[in-house]
């Protein structure tokens, strides 16, 4: 962002520190970083779709480290079972009862790496946990830690034996983003500089989980005027009425779009949500919730989202 | 088109029924009761069928109903031709059509019939009241058409009425233009026969005791007159109508057996002519009225003078009829009369009224000339104890004239004219009774003269050898006030008068005003004939209004009105206005950097600001200031700035 | 009458062709300008015209001024109505919407949104293609989506290159319409064969068990060993750890995988085969079985989900 409007003095600084720390690690991706933070603030989950090696894992790890969150990485494979994620009840001979052993999902930031390699059943175990913020095993409910944030990564190229997340499940993720190749200057730094993973290991938390929760609580309070609601409605209407899409946005999509825009406005320090905030988050929020009518048009979800934004007049 | 085959639904049906019933009801005034019963029956049946529990009648029942309807019309009128029979038939047909309304198309037919029922009403009467009553009817029928004819879901009734009201209001200017400029024909090409029994107050072609009393009680207007110059004095305003030459001892009636045209040479003017225009209320008779004596050269088209100088029209007057005549106040008529005429006009039944005959023969032997006999009779009326009264005692059936002349001596024009004429005939002087109107009242508001039925009058006409036919009004001998002041001024104090004459001053003025209004209505609306149209257009400044000119002017004016209408509609369909803030900001965006082409619709304000300030760094501060103010006003719930501050910031540029 | 109708339909076709050439194809947002709005009296309008004529002649003949005045008022009304009718469409905005897909024999739906930007309401707006849509009023600033249904008969692409938007409001005397030429294409899937014929034997890619009740798909927990449990399900690790005999419990169905083969149906005609394959795909999709498709020149690997289903149906539709 080259400009800030309506600065709100309280907010700017604290989040700026987080962003500054992350910018050190993840080079050349300020936009994606901010989207990730907005996603955390809006209590959503993040789906990163890109080829391996562009820094998806590093991003997740760095986020956890900067925000001071407990971190678990689950590598999804075809033989991964639901129990391997949520945990297992094991019979304890001493107490003569089953004891629940928590799975890796019990962390504040869970990186679900290459979710499309696991079977749909295993995927849905993770998705249910995300949805409900709790895990149920043998009839006992185990709450997940607070805050709870899932970063899932998926390889976009279709391969036999993989199960891309079904569309009906995609909207469990607040945002879907792509990282993309670094530009040449950044690439050079990456090649010559220190290993990013080492840098992550040395990262110091800038924020406590409690502080993060406070930030999250402020998001729904960012003011929204009727004029902005009208803009969001226009976006939804466009997707429903346009011939470009097989199906329009659901009412829930509208709600989460507004929530993400509020998070973005909070980060940008705006005193109210601006159309700019909606436009900043919309490609990542609505892209994966829309299905183009013509399946054969090669378009990424972000491009689809951007297309909508470019075509909806701000009322 | 699609709507036509749509199945009837309840709101559409109710609107149609409302239109049909409202336009049928006024016909109660001149049609028999049974078509209305038939309609009530089919309306109820159709309403019951909405519920789905009753079915519409089948073919057999419909045929039976149709046969019964036709039979009814035939029985009532002995014809299916004619205005009454036709209207009854229209009602019967629409009632029957109701029993087979399955599709919207059928309802539309009924609604169009409703329009026709309104027009039919106008053929019976064209008064202001008929016109006023037609306004809600047209409105309702139009609303019904709107609610029914298009496939659109019916509107709420208030909205429907207001929409159709707007349509009608916008059609009114077009109506006025067409009414004034659409070329008229000068006469009817065919006429609808009317039933003979149509009862209208007015003179009849015979006079028996009591027949005029009825008229004297009627306030109805007989005709209105507009004189070219000043009207002649009241005592000279004898409006000649009928000449009654036949006398059977009791009843005077028109002699029709040898009704032939007057030889114009037998009529000589003795003074200048007076021109005037008469607007005659329809009386469904052939005779017309004119001041004595109409110039045979000035008669309206389609009319003639009979040899007893009745002005007669070929066709009965079934609608307001406007004509122009010129009359000579002084004239001589039939200096040489035909023998048969002399014989006819001295005939009487010698078995009746012996005393009258005796008196007449006594005068004949005493006096040397006919003129002296006339004067003697008038002297009798003037000097003996004769009284003018509107409530005379009942007279003997056979020797009524005897009884009147020698006993009761109380009566009004019909008694005096009748007894005077009999006296003359008994004395051998050719005499006859003339009926018509006498007097008339000038309306101070418009200057026209109104002649009412209460001005009906009977007088006599005698033939004197040197002078021809001479008017003699024996009533004037008894009560000079009758001809100078009218009926009200001539009856003795204390006698009850018909309601019209008792009116208070206020009511009298109201009556005059109403009469003036009606006169205008007759003259400008009902009587707007070809001649009137041309006069009016000349008055408006159109030189030489030819058919072509009128049509072209009409089309041009309609074009202007329609043009205005489309501009109005276009103005209504202009896009909705944005709020003040948006307008202000949009204008700023358009003007700040014309080269940049303004803000694109999907471009967020900050992005626009960035784009424009990159192109015009010198204006960056202003752009940022305005953008921030706008965003604050529009996207924060409690703006820290105001619209006027934004306006100031923009103006400062 | 037949020859008259044929002349009319030929004339109409010519007119439409002319309009199409004049207006060009439409897409996205269309604002109807007066150049493409046509208006003519309809049957009811002509009937109304005859009524007027009768009133006019009668009024002139009898010099019945009130009758004439009513005739002129109604004539004026017709003129006014024509403009109001035109106004219903004038500058109306249409947004061509999504097209669905359909199975042959079922109607396909097209969505069109009508938008009223004006300050005045628009009345009686209707769309027509083969059938007529709902008829609506649009208040100022309002918009509403209407759907047009089009019958489909054959599989493959079906294009809709024209529909009409019209209104006869207020008095139903005039038919005011505009032709819209969208570039709509709808993919018509093959008509599914009636259920009955079961797909050929299952090929499954999960090794081992054909145990239908206890599929291998999902591990759901452990329970104590009971007689009759398969030894393969015993949790040996747990046994080694604490010597209790527990079995692993699985829930859910097998991941059954069909591969539907066009050539396997060689006793049927081509279209019947395609219908049968369509039926199998729908059934498998409903049961949650994975399936693949082997067509003469195309093979689609086994998979699940709506995208896969659509890919298979599309392949069949365009075969």
Least confident range from A11-15, B115-119, B449-453, B467-471: namely: A11-15
Interface membership of A138 toward C (CB under 8 Å) = yes
Residue A285 domain flag: yes
Q: What integer pLDDT is reported at residue A1 of this predicted model?
A: 31
In terms of domains, do A209 and A266 share one?
Answer: no
Distance, in Å, from the CA atom of B469 to the CA atom of B331, rounded to the nearest integer, reads 9
Residue B182 domain flag: no
Write a three-state SS string for chain A: CCCCCCCCHHHHHHHHHHHHHHHHHCCCCHHHHHHHHHHHHCCCCEEEECCCCCCHHHHHHHHHHHHCCCEEEEECCCCCCHHHHHEEEEEECCCCEEEEEECCCCCCEEEEECHHHCCHHHHHHHHHHHHHCEEEECCEEEECCCCCEEEEEECCCCCCCCCCCCHHHHCCCCEEECCCCCCHHHHHHHHHCCCHHHHHHCCCCCCCHHHHHHHHHHHHHCCCCHHHHHHHHHHHHHHHHCCCEEECCCHHHHHHHHHHHHHHHHHHCCCCCCHHHHHHHHHHHHHHHCEECCCCCCCCHHHHHHHHHHHCCCC
Report the interhelical angle of C306-317 vs C270-287 (nearest 10°): 170
For the CA atoms of B72, B77, B80, B81, the dihedral, rounded to the nearest 10 degrees, stands at -160
CATH number assigned to the domain comprising residue A138: 3.40.50.300
Chains that touch A (3 or more CB pairs under 8 A): B, C
Q: What integer pLDDT is reported at residue C252 of this predicted model?
A: 43
In terms of domains, do B329 and B474 share one?
Answer: yes
In terms of domains, do B370 and B406 share one?
Answer: yes
Least confident range from B438-452, C153-167, C256-270: namely: C256-270
| Residue contact B152–C43, C-beta within 8 A | no
In terms of domains, do A207 and A244 share one?
Answer: no
Report DSSP state, residue C42: -
Distance, in Å, from the CA atom of B322 to the CA atom of B277, rounded to the nearest integer, reads 7
Report DSSP state, residue B619: G
Report DSSP state, residue C174: E
| Residue contact C217–A137, C-beta within 8 A | no
> Which residue's structure tokens are 């009386």?
B283
In terms of domains, do A263 and A117 share one?
Answer: no
CATH number assigned to the domain comprising residue A301: 1.10.8.80
Q: Tell me how many domains chain B contains.
A: 4
Interface membership of B189 toward A (CB under 8 Å) = no
Give the tens place of pLDDT for each residue, B479-505: 887 777 777 666 665 555 555 554 567
Residue B530 domain flag: no
Token digits for A250?
């659901």
| Residue contact B152–C141, C-beta within 8 A | no
Q: Tell me how many domains chain A contains.
A: 2
Distance, in Å, from the CA atom of A176 to the CA atom of A306, rounded to the nearest integer, reads 13
Q: Report whether pLDDT(B288) > 50.
A: yes
Domain boundary among B495, B516, B541: B495
Instruction: Find the closest chain B residue to A310 by CA distance.
Output: B602
Q: Which one of B152, B551, B561, B574 would you mutate to disrupt binding with C, by most C Cβ within 10 Å of its Cβ?
A: B152
| Residue contact B604–A279, C-beta within 8 A | yes
Q: Which one of C38, C171, C174, C175 would you mutate to disrupt binding with B, by most B Cβ within 10 Å of its Cβ?
A: C171
Higher pLDDT pick, B363 / B260: B363
| Residue contact C98–A247, C-beta within 8 A | yes
Q: What integer pLDDT is reported at residue A3 of this predicted model?
A: 37
In terms of domains, do A86 and A165 share one?
Answer: yes
List the catalytic residues of B: 413, 457, 473
Which residues from B are below 8 Å from C54, CB to CB?
116
ipTM over cut 0.90: no
Q: What is the mean pLDDT of chain C?
A: 80
Domain boundary among B495, B514, B548: B495
Higher pLDDT pick, C40 / A162: C40
Q: What integer pLDDT is reported at residue C230 of this predicted model?
A: 55
Interface membership of A15 toward B (CB under 8 Å) = no
Which residues from C are below 8 Å from A242, CB to CB?
28, 95, 97-98
For the CA atoms of B119, B125, B127, B133, the dihedral, rounded to the nearest 10 degrees, stands at -50
Largest CA distance in chain C: 119
Higher pLDDT pick, A7 / C81: C81
Of B628, B631, B637, Cβ closest to residue A223: B637
In terms of domains, do B422 and B468 share one?
Answer: no
Q: What integer pLDDT is reported at residue A261 of this predicted model?
A: 95
Query: Where are chain C's structural domains?
Result: 14-189, 206-251, 256-317
Interface membership of B617 toward A (CB under 8 Å) = no
| Confidence tier at B24 by pLDDT (50, 70, 90) | very high
Q: Report whether pLDDT(B50) > 90.
A: no
Q: What integer pLDDT is reported at residue A160 of this predicted model?
A: 63
CB–CB of B287/B202 below 8 Å?
Answer: no
Q: What integer pLDDT is reported at residue C244 of this predicted model?
A: 65
Give the tens place of pLDDT for each residue, A145-186: 888 999 998 877 666 667 777 766 788 899 998 888 888 888
CA distance B495 to chain C (A): 43
Q: Which residues pair with C125 in a beta bridge?
A: C136
In terms of domains, do B403 and B468 share one?
Answer: no
In terms of domains, do B315 and B359 share one?
Answer: no
Interface membership of A137 toward C (CB under 8 Å) = yes
> CB count, 10 Å around CB of B158?
8
In terms of domains, do A68 and A165 share one?
Answer: yes
Compute the residue count for chain C.
Answer: 319
Domain boundary among B387, B409, B426: B426
In terms of domains, do B395 and B447 share one?
Answer: no
Interface membership of B632 toward A (CB under 8 Å) = yes
How many Cα atoms occupy the beta-carbon half-sphere of B464 within 13 Å? Answer: 16
Instruction: Find the closest chain A residue to B624 by CA distance.
Output: A5
| Confidence tier at C211 by pLDDT (50, 70, 90) | very low
> CB count, 10 Å around CB of A164?
22
Range picked from A190-194, B481-485, C293-297 for highest mean pLDDT = C293-297
Report DSSP state, residue B299: P
Distance, in Å, from the CA atom of B395 to the CA atom of B410, rounded to the nearest integer, reads 10
In terms of domains, do A36 and A141 share one?
Answer: yes
Q: What integer pLDDT is reported at residue B210 of this predicted model?
A: 64
Higher pLDDT pick, B391 / B240: B240
Q: Report whether pLDDT(A194) > 50.
A: yes
Which residues from B are below 8 Å from C115, CB to CB?
none
| Residue contact C68–B182, C-beta within 8 A | yes
In terms of domains, do B331 and B437 share one?
Answer: yes
B vs C: CB pairs below 8 A: 190
Q: Report whether pLDDT(A2) > 50.
A: no
Q: Which residues pair with A46 in a beta bridge?
A: A151, A175
| Confidence tier at A257 by pLDDT (50, 70, 90) | very high
In terms of domains, do A140 and A281 share one?
Answer: no
Interface membership of A198 toward C (CB under 8 Å) = no
Q: Which one of C98, C292, C300 would you mutate to disrupt binding with A, by most A Cβ within 10 Å of its Cβ?
A: C98
Mean pLDDT, range B287-305, rounded to an integer = 88
Distance, in Å, from the CA atom of B275 to the CA atom of C281, rounded to the nearest integer, reads 102
| Residue contact B606–A314, C-beta within 8 A | no
Q: Which residues pair with A72 in a beta bridge?
A: A110
Percent of chain B with pLDDT over 90: 23
Q: By CB neighbour count within 10 A (0-12 exposed, 13-18 middle, 19+ buried), where does B190 fall? A: exposed
Residue B58 domain flag: yes
Which residues from B are below 8 Å from A225, CB to CB?
634-637
Token digits for C120?
């005045």
Instruction: Find the closest chain A residue to C217 by CA distance.
Output: A121
Class of the CATH domain delimited by C14-189: mainly beta
Residue A303 domain flag: yes
Give the tens place of pLDDT for each residue, B222-245: 899 999 888 888 888 999 998 988
For the CA atoms of C257, C260, C264, C267, the dihedral, rounded to the nearest 10 degrees, stands at 130
Q: Which residues pair with C219 in a beta bridge?
A: C250
CB–CB of B285/B276 below 8 Å?
Answer: no
| Confidence tier at A297 by pLDDT (50, 70, 90) | low
Q: Which one of A95, A140, A241 would you mutate to disrupt binding with C, by most C Cβ within 10 Å of its Cβ?
A: A241
CA distance C204 to chain B (A): 52
Residue B593 backbone phi and psi in degrees, to 5: -145, 85
| Confidence tier at B527 by pLDDT (50, 70, 90) | confident
Higher pLDDT pick, B21 / C155: B21
CA distance A102 to chain C (A): 13
Three-state DSSP class for B495? coil
In terms of domains, do A171 and A289 share one?
Answer: no
In terms of domains, do A78 and A168 share one?
Answer: yes
Q: What integer pLDDT is reported at residue C259 of this predicted model?
A: 81
Token digits for C5?
């109708």
Which spans in B78-210 are helix H? Answer: 83-97, 104-124, 128-149, 157-181
Token digits for B280?
């005659």
Contacts 24+ apart (CB under 8 A), B622-628: B622/B592, B622/B649, B622/B652, B622/B653, B623/B592, B624/A3, B625/B649, B626/B585, B626/B588, B626/B592, B626/B650, B627/A5, B628/A5, B628/A6
CB–CB of A86/A135 below 8 Å?
Answer: yes
Of A98, A119, A242, Cβ closest to residue C97: A242
Range picked from B164-178, B529-543, C212-226 for highest mean pLDDT = B164-178
Q: What is the mean pLDDT of chain B?
A: 85
Of A272, A274, A276, Cβ closest to residue B637: A272
Domain boundary among A218, A245, A280: A218
Give the tens place of pLDDT for each residue, B432-459: 999 999 888 888 888 889 898 888 889 9
In terms of domains, do A72 and A204 share one?
Answer: yes
For C:290-309, CB contacts with A below 8 A are 301, 303-307
Residue C49: alpha-carbon gap to chain centroid? 40
Report DSSP state, residue B525: I
Assessment of whether the complete model's pTM goes beyond 0.90: no
Which residues are CB-neighbours of B46 under 8 A, at least 6 positions away?
B13, B17, B56, B98, B99, B101
Q: How far is CA C314 from CA A297, B136, B500, C16, C107, in A?
A: 15, 63, 95, 32, 17
Mean pLDDT, range B352-375, rounded to an integer = 89
Q: How far is CA B280 from CA B6, B222, B284, B449, B644, in A?
A: 51, 7, 11, 12, 73
Which residues are CB-neighbours of B406 under 8 A, at least 6 positions away?
B355
| Residue contact B152–C91, C-beta within 8 A | no
Three-state DSSP class for B36? helix
Nearest partner of A250 among A186, A168, A144, A312, judged by Cα: A168
In terms of domains, do B369 and B413 share one?
Answer: yes
Instruction: Find the closest chain A residue to B586 by CA distance.
Output: A315
Q: Report whether pLDDT(C218) > 70.
A: no
Least confident range from B622-636, C118-132, C215-229: namely: C215-229
Least confident range from A170-184, A194-208, B620-634: namely: A194-208
CB–CB of B410/B393 below 8 Å?
Answer: yes
Domain boundary among A171, A202, A218: A218
CA distance C282 to chain A (A): 17
Chains that touch B (3 or more CB pairs under 8 A): A, C
Which residues are CB-neighbours of A12 under 8 A, at least 6 positions away?
A4, A269
In terms of domains, do A75 and A148 share one?
Answer: yes
Mean pLDDT, range B572-576, rounded to an integer = 79
Domain boundary among A218, A242, A258: A218
Range of the structural domain that residue B587 is part of: 580-651
Give the tens place of pLDDT for each residue, A116-136: 888 878 888 888 888 888 888
Least confident range from B99-103, B426-430, C9-13, C253-257: namely: C253-257
In terms of domains, do B299 and B377 share one?
Answer: no
Which residues from C are below 8 Å from B163, CB to CB?
170
For A:225-264, CB contacts with C below 8 A are 237, 240-248
Range of the structural domain that residue A315 is part of: 222-315
CB–CB of C44/B149 below 8 Å?
Answer: yes
Token digits for A10?
């309280």
Higher pLDDT pick, B110 / B441: B110
Three-state DSSP class for B268? strand
Interface membership of A6 toward C (CB under 8 Å) = no
Q: What integer pLDDT is reported at residue B351 of this predicted model?
A: 86
Percent of chain C with pLDDT over 70: 79
| Residue contact B628–A311, C-beta within 8 A | no
> CB count, 10 Å around CB of A208?
12
Cis previous bond, C170, omega within 30: yes
Instruction: Find the closest chain A residue to B628 by CA distance.
Output: A5
For B:102-161, CB contacts with C below 8 A are 105, 108-109, 112, 115-116, 118-119, 122-123, 126, 130-131, 134, 138, 142, 145-146, 148-153, 155
Residue B171 domain flag: no
Mean pLDDT, range A212-229, rounded to an integer = 90
In terms of domains, do A157 and A261 share one?
Answer: no
CA distance A274 to chain B (A): 6
Chains that touch C (3 or more CB pairs under 8 A): A, B
CA distance A243 to chain C (A): 4
In terms of domains, do B316 and B383 share one?
Answer: no
CB–CB of A315/A227 below 8 Å?
Answer: yes
| Confidence tier at A228 by pLDDT (50, 70, 90) | very high
Q: Report whether pLDDT(B365) > 50.
A: yes
Compute the residue count for chain A.
Answer: 315
Percent of chain B with pLDDT over 70: 93
Residue A8 domain flag: no
Q: Report whether pLDDT(C97) > 80.
A: no
In terms of domains, do B467 and B332 share one?
Answer: yes
Residue A18 domain flag: no
Nearest partner of B324 among B340, B308, B302, B345, judged by Cα: B302
Check the CA dihedral C39-C42-C48-C53 and report its sign. positive
Q: Which one of A3, A223, A306 would you mutate to disrupt binding with B, by most B Cβ within 10 Å of its Cβ?
A: A3
In terms of domains, do B213 and B329 share one?
Answer: yes
Check the CA dihedral C10-C14-C15-C19 and report its sign. positive
Q: How far is CA C188 from CA A246, C101, C150, C185, in A?
A: 15, 6, 11, 9
A vs B: CB pairs below 8 A: 56
Residue B299 domain flag: yes
How many Cα atoms occupy the beta-carbon half-sphere of B626 within 13 Å? Answer: 28
CB–CB of B183/B550 below 8 Å?
Answer: yes
């Amino acid at each position: 962002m080259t400009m800030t409007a309506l600065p709100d003095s309280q907010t700017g600084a604290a989040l700026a520190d987080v962003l500054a720390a992350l910018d050190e690690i993840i080079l050349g991706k300020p936009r994606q970083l901010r989207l990730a933070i907005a996603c955390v603030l809006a209590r959503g989950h993040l789906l990163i779709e890109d080829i391996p090696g562009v820094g998806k894992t590093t991003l997740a790890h760095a986020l956890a480290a900067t925000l001071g969150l407990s971190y678990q990485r689950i590598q999804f494979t075809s033989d991964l079972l639901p129990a391997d994620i949520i945990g297992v009840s094991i019979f304890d001979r001493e107490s003569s009862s089953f004891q629940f052993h928590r799975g890796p999902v019990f962390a504040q930031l869970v990186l679900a790496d290459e979710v499309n390699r696991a079977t749909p059943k295993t995927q849905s175990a993770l998705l249910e946990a995300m949805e409900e913020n709790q895990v149920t095993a043998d009839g006992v409910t185990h709450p997940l830690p607070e805050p709870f944030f899932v970063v899932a990564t998926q390889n976009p190229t279709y391969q036999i034996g993989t199960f891309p997340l079904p569309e009906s499940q995609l909207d469990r993720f607040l945002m879907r983003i792509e990282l993309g190749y670094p530009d040449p200057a950044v690439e050079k730094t990456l090649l010559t500089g220190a290993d990013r993973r080492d840098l992550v290991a040395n990262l110091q938390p800038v924020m406590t989980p409690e502080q993060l929760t406070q930030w999250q609580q402020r998001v729904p309070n960012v003011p929204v005027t009727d004029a902005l609601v009208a803009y969001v409605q226009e976006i939804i209407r466009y997707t429903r009425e346009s011939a470009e899409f097989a199906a329009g946005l659901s009412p829930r999509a509208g709600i989460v779009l507004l929530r993400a825009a509020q998070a973005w406005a909070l980060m940008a320090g705006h005193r109210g949500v601006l159309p700019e905030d909606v436009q900043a988050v919309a490609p990542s929020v609505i892209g994966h919730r829309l299905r183009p009518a013509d399946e054969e048009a090669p378009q990424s979800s972000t491009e689809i989202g951007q297309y909508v934004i470019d075509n909806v007049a701000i009322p | 088109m699609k709507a036509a085959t749509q199945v009837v639904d309840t709101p559409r049906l109710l609107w149609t029924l409302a239109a049909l019933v409202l336009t049928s009801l006024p016909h109660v005034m001149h049609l028999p009761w049974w078509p209305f019963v038939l309609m009530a029956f089919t309306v109820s049946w159709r309403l019951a069928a909405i519920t789905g529990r009753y079915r519409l009648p089948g073919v057999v029942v419909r045929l039976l109903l149709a046969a019964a309807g036709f039979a009814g019309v035939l029985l009532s009128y002995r014809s299916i031709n004619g205005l009454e029979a036709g209207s009854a038939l229209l009602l019967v047909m629409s009632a029957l059509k109701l029993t087979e309304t399955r599709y919207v198309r059928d309802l539309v037919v009924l609604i169009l019939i409703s329009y026709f029922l309104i027009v039919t009403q106008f053929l019976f009467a064209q008064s202001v009241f008929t016109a006023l009553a037609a306004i809600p009817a047209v409105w309702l029928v139009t609303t019904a058409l709107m609610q029914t004819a298009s496939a659109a879901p019916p509107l709420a009734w208030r909205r429907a009425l207001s929409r159709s009201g707007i349509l009608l209001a916008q059609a009114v200017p077009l109506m006025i233009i067409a009414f004034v400029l659409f070329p008229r024909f000068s006469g009817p090409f065919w006429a609808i026969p009317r039933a003979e029994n149509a009862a209208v107050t007015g003179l009849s072609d015979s006079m028996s005791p009591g027949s005029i009393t009825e008229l004297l009680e009627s306030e109805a207007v007989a005709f209105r007159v507009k004189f070219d110059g000043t009207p002649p004095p009241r005592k000279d305003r004898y409006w000649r109508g009928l000449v009654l030459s036949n006398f059977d001892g009791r009843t005077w009636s028109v002699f029709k057996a040898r009704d032939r045209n007057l030889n114009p040479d037998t009529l000589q003017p003795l003074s200048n002519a007076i021109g005037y225009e008469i607007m005659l209320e329809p009386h469904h008779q052939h005779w017309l009225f004119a001041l004595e004596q109409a110039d045979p050269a000035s008669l309206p088209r389609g009319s003639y003078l009979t040899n007893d100088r009745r002005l007669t029209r070929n066709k009965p007057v079934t609608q307001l009829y406007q004509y122009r005549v010129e009359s000579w106040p002084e004239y001589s008529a039939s200096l040489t009369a035909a023998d048969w005429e002399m014989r006819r006009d001295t005939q009487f039944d010698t078995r009746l009224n012996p005393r009258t005959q005796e008196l007449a023969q006594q005068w004949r032997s005493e006096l040397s000339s006919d003129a002296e006999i006339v004067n003697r009779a008038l002297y009798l009326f003037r000097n003996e104890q004769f009284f003018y009264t509107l409530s005379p005692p009942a007279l003997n059936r056979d020797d009524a004239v005897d009884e009147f002349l020698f006993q009761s001596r109380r009566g009004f024009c019909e008694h005096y004219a009748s007894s005077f004429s009999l006296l003359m005939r008994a004395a051998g002087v050719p005499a006859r009774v003339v009926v018509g109107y006498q007097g008339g009242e000038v309306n101070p508001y418009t200057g026209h003269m109104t002649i009412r039925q209460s001005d009906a009058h009977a007088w006599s006409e005698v033939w004197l050898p040197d002078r021809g036919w001479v008017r003699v009004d024996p009533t004037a001998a008894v009560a000079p006030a009758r001809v100078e002041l009218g009926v009200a001024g001539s009856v003795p104090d204390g006698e009850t008068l018909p309601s019209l004459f008792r009116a208070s001053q206020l009511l009298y003025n109201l009556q005059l005003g109403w009469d003036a209004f009606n006169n205008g209505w007759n003259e400008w609306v009902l009587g707007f004939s070809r001649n009137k149209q041309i006069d009016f257009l000349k008055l408006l400044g159109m030189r030489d209004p030819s058919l072509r000119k009128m049509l072209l002017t009409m089309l041009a004016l309609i074009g202007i009105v329609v043009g205005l209408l489309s501009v109005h509609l276009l103005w209504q369909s202009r896009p909705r206005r944005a709020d003040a803030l948006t307008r202000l900001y949009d204008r700023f965006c358009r003007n700040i950097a014309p080269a940049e082409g303004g803000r694109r619709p999907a471009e967020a304000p900050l992005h626009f600001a960035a784009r424009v300030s990159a192109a015009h760094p010198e204006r960056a501060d202003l752009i940022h200031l305005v953008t921030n103010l706008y965003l604050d006003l529009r996207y924060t719930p409690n703006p820290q700035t105001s619209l006027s501050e934004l306006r100031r910031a923009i103006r400062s540029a | 009458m037949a020859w008259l109708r044929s002349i009319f339909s030929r004339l109409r076709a010519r007119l439409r062709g002319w309009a199409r050439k004049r207006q060009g194809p439409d897409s996205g947002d269309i604002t109807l300008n007066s150049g493409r709005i046509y208006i003519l009296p309809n049957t009811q309008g002509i009937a109304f015209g005859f009524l007027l004529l009768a009133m006019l002649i009668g009024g002139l003949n009898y010099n019945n001024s009130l009758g004439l005045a009513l005739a002129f008022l109604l004539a004026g009304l017709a003129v006014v109505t024509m403009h109001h009718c035109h106004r219903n469409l004038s500058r109306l905005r249409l947004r061509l919407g999504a097209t669905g897909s359909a199975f042959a024999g079922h109607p396909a739906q097209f969505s069109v949104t009508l938008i009223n930007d004006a300050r005045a309401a628009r009345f009686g707006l209707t769309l027509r293609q083969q059938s007529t849509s709902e008829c609506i009023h649009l208040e100022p600033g309002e918009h509403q989506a209407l759907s047009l249904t089009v019958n489909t008969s054959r599989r493959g692409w079906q294009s809709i290159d024209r529909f009409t938007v019209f209104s006869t409001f207020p008095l139903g005397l005039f038919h005011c319409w505009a032709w819209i030429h969208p570039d709509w294409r709808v993919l018509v899937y093959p008509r599914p064969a009636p259920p009955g014929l079961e797909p050929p034997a299952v090929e499954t890619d999960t090794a081992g068990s054909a145990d239908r009740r206890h599929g291998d798909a999902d591990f759901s927990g452990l329970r104590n060993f009971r007689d009759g449990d398969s030894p393969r399900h015993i949790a040996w690790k747990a046994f080694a750890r604490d010597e209790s005999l527990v079995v692993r419990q699985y829930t859910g169905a097998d991941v059954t995988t069909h591969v539907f083969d066009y050539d396997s149906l060689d006793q049927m005609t081509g279209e019947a085969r395609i219908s049968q394959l369509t039926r199998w795909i729908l059934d498998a999709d409903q049961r949650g079985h994975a399936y693949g498709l082997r067509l003469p020149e195309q093979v689609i690997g086994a998979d699940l989900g709506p995208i896969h289903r659509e890919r298979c149906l599309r392949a069949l539709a365009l075969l």
